Structures are given as structure tokens and as C-alpha cells.
Structure 1
Amino acid sequence: MSIASLSFPHCCQNLPSLSLKSSFLSKPTKTQFSLSFTQKRSSSHVVSMSMEAGIGVMGTKLGMMSFFETDGKVVSVTVVGFREGNVVTQVKTSATDGYDVVQVGYRRVTDNKLTKPELGHLEKAGVISMRHLQKFRLQSVEEFETGHKLDVEEIFKEGDLVDVSETTIGE
């Protein structure tokens, strides 16, 4: 499991981790990503959407932690885990559909948890059953094909800026 801590780069050095700086006050640029949290029952799901920079990924919020910087400052971070999934389930091009979109599936489930139309859609794509499907509108979809597994380490690099927003269940 890959783990991304959305803050300072020195967090979780013993874990296979990826650290990203978080920018809440600045306006998103082409290299920044926008993360939105959606929470359903006891777990949070993260949807990462790139405005113009490229494809996004989905992950699950594992929790919060804090650590000390070298100057003694305490920094809080959100730890996001990326489970099985982040597989391209559909590619729409402007030539056939009028716009460029890549649909990504996340979090494997059993077939009886999905509706027949969802199962048919995923079987047609030739991918495993996924609970969450999210479309990402892109400028170009040539490098993506159905069944392609997205690697989080290729999409996010150390020092990338990430905007985060959260939707809770109101507890």
C-alpha cells in the first residue's frame, strides 16, 4: 500500500511514503491538485482531481498525525492510503464523444455489491468490480487505455502542491 502524507516532506520516512506540500490559501495553478474528501459511514474516500495538469486518483483517508520539523515546529499531516484500484475503466475522446474524459475506478468490491448496469459497464471494459467510479476531464487522453493501472508515485511528486477540501457526514 502506498501512503501519501499531505504536508511536509520529512514525514513517515520508514514507510513507503510520498509527501506533498499542502496549499490552502493559494489559488490552484496548473501544477497543483485539488483533493476532495467524501465520507460514507465510517471511512473517508479521497478524490483527487487535476484542473488542467492531468489525471487524478482516489484514496482513503487513514487518519491524522503530527511530527516535529528540525526547528521544533509541530506540523499536522493527513495520511492518505491508496488501496487496490485507480484503474482506467473508460476513455472518451473528442473525436467520438465530443470531449476528452478518463474514468477511473477505485476500491474493489464483490459483484453482488454493484448494480447490473455497473457490472456490465465494468465487464465491457475488462476490469475488476470497483465501488467508486470518477471521471476526469483532460486536455489529451492519448496516453491512457482501458485497464491501465495508475501509479500514485508517477502522478504525485515530492513538493507538489495539493488543495484539500472535505465533506463529512455531519457527526
Structure 2
Amino acid sequence: MSGIIGKKIGMTSIFGADGRNVACTLVEAGPCVVTQVKDVETDGYRAVQLGYGEKKEKRTPKALKGHFSKAKTTPKKEVVEFRDFRVEFEGEAVSLGQEIRVEEVFQEGDFVDAIGTSKGKGFQGVVKRHGFGGVGQRTHGQHNRERAPGSIGGASYPARVFKGMRMAGRTGGERVKMLNLQVMKIVPEKNLILISGSIPGAKNSTIILEK
């Protein structure tokens, strides 16, 4: 599974091959640095660890400073591991400290999965959080009950609310994975990739793209 780490810039739109206007998310993908290479003999599985974004050295623990110094690179803000990284350069596998660019991983027309942290929306009711339809119209003597959750359990039995009951609470701020989004365009000189549709997360949030 190949992939790259990036930052969400915002949304735009471009015209596709069929002439239709396609809404796209603009992601600044990479360049990333290979900070660790795992193999079956040492670690029990194959994987490549990539680092993205600069981090102040004074805010980096000593253990991580040593980890990044082995790759001969500066401390990175985000570190993500990709199993079975399928990118080869001139017939050779990736090496420690090597720079990975977006055009080396993805091509226009590829389908990718995007992972991000959704926008936090605070404490919300059941209509916004779970899509409830509410109790109904304001009839039969109801008063301000349109967005109420309704019954949440029995009385003397079971005398409690079952775990997992859909109720009001904190919404958003969760890890979300969007599947099968198409790469519409790549701008190598600016490390930009345009992906069809929306990607979870606020502007400038970290995005993981998998292939």
C-alpha cells in the first residue's frame, strides 16, 4: 500500500475530460522523507515510515531526535507508516532518508483513499448528530418537541439505558476515511494534487492519501 502525507489547502473546481465541472479538494502532498524502513527479518513485516512537515527541534523529544538523525533529516511534525510500500526507483527499493514526491506515488486518474480528522461541531442534538426526523409536527398538544429524541428506554425493565443508545453528544473530531476518490490533476512543481469530491478535515489539517 503506497501513500503520502499532505495538508489540506481548500476546495476548487476544474473541468474534467468530459467537459463537466468537477468539485475538487486541493492537497499539498509531500515532499515526505523516509524516516524508517522495516523488513520481515527485523520487524516481522514490511513497511515504510514517512515524515512530513517541519517541527521545532526544541519541541522534539531526544528519542525522536535520534530517530530522525538516523535518516539524516530534520524533526518532522507528522509520521505515518505505510505497509508494503510499492514505490521503486530505478529498480531499487526506497532507502532511509530518501525524499518521496507526490508524482512518484500517484498518477492522474488513480483512485485513492483519503484519511483525515473531521471538523469538530461541539455538543449537538440527535437531529444533527444522527439524522433523526424529530417527533413530528406541532399537533396534539405538543410543545417544542420537533427535535426531541423520543423514548430512550423502558421503565421498570430494564430500568436503565442500553449502551450505544443514539443520543445527543459531542460531534465531529473523528478519524474519517473516504474511499475511491479520483486524482484529477497533479502539479509536481508545487507538490499539489487535486482530488475529486470532499475530504474530511479543516483547512491546513493533515491528510493521509493511500493507494
TM-score range, shorter chain: 0.5 to 0.7
Matches within 5 A, 1:6-155: 50=1, 55-69=2-16, 73-83=20-30, 85-138=31-84, 143-155=93-105
Q: CA deviation at 1:139?
A: 6.7
The answer as to whether partners of 1:114 and 1:131 remain within 8 angstroms in 2 is: no
Which of these residues, 120, 123, 136, is aligned with residue 170 of structure 1? 120
Which of these residues, 85, 103, 106, is aligned with residue 156 of structure 1? 106
Distance 1:111 1:161, change over 3 A: same
Larger Rg: 2
CA distance in 1, matches of 2:25, 2:67: 33
CA distance in 1, matches of 2:44, 2:93: 18
Q: How many residues are aligned here?
A: 117
Q: CA deviation at 1:158?
A: 1.2
* Structure 1 partner of 2:148: none
CA distance in 1, matches of 2:17, 2:100: 34
CA distance in 2, matches of 1:132, 1:100: 20
SS in 1 for 2:12: strand
**TM-score between both structures, scaled by the size of structure 1:** 0.60
* Structure 2 partner of 1:11: none
Unaligned runs of 5+ in 2: 122-211
> Once the two structures are superposed, what CA deviation does each residue of 1:31-53 show, in whole Å capped at 9, x if it has no partner?
xxxxxxxxxxxxxxxxxxx3xxx
Amino acid in the other structure paired with 2:60: L
Q: CA deviation at 1:98?
A: 1.2
The answer as to whether partners of 2:32 and 2:52 remain within 8 angstroms in 1 is: yes
SS in 2 for 1:57: strand
> Once the two structures are superposed, what CA deviation does each residue of 1:76-118 show, in whole Å capped at 9, x if it has no partner?
10000135x4100011110122111111000012201222221
Q: CA deviation at 1:71?
A: 6.3
Amino acid in the other structure paired with 2:80: Q
Unaligned runs of 5+ in 1: 1-49
Amino acid in the other structure paired with 1:76: A
Distance 1:165 1:92, change over 3 A: closer
Amino acid in the other structure paired with 1:117: A
**TM-score between both structures, scaled by the size of structure 2:** 0.49
Amino acid in the other structure paired with 1:65: T
C-alpha RMSD of the superposition:
2.4
CA distance in 1, matches of 2:85, 2:105: 16
Pick which of 121-130 and 102-111 moved more. Answer: 121-130
